[in-house]
A and B are shown apart, each in its own frame.
Chain A
Amino acid sequence: EVVLTQSPGTLSLSPGERATLSCRASRSVRSRFFDWYQQRPGQPPRLLIYSAFTRAAGIPDRFSGSGSGTDFTLTINRLEPEDFAVYYCQQYDSQPPYTFGQGTKVEMK
């Protein structure tokens, strides 16, 4: 099983600042099998980034994904009030289970 470790656990930032979220895999994951999700309180997760770099439909360009192998990053430029949420990474390379990270909470400072 591929374990995904997200850091930091919580990120305290102000609107307009940049958020940098990390996800580290216990073994190498092919980029095309790596996604990011956003979950606002009381809401289901929403697909943000798929295949490590590609924004899902309707996702603003202030969200970007990067990385390869075991280290992936989600960057949110110029945080908007609606961006304060929990973010999960997910991998689906090789065999099940397809795993998620434990989440990074971006909270307002």
Chain B
Amino acid sequence: QITLKESGPTLVEPTQTLTLTCTFSGFSLSTSGVAMGWVRQPPGKALEWLALIYWDDDKRYSPFLKHRLAITKDTSKNQVVLTMTNMDPVDTATYYCALLPEVGIYFDSWGQGTLVTVSS
């Protein structure tokens, strides 16, 4: 059974750096073809893709946020970490981590999401 769970601060101040961790089970991110990603959703708004990381450590970022994002993996801990610098109130959103299938670029398993509020 595949499970994913996001964790991190629920409140961050403007200009701070956000660090979110996705802890997963039921698969290994060191297996060829496996990839994971982050997607966010501001309250009442649409989904927005942020980043992907592949089993071979290849990384992809949203071109709109690339300068602020970093995604890393720790296969020994079954974790993926997303950092986002210079947080702003418009970054207030629910952040989801998700698993991609071995073939195709879509998300077939999702975490429950974690709401991050940016406010002073």
A and B assemble together: no
Task: List A residues at the B interface (Cβ < 8 Å).
Answer: none
Task: Give chain B's interface residues, CB within 8 Å of chain A.
Answer: none
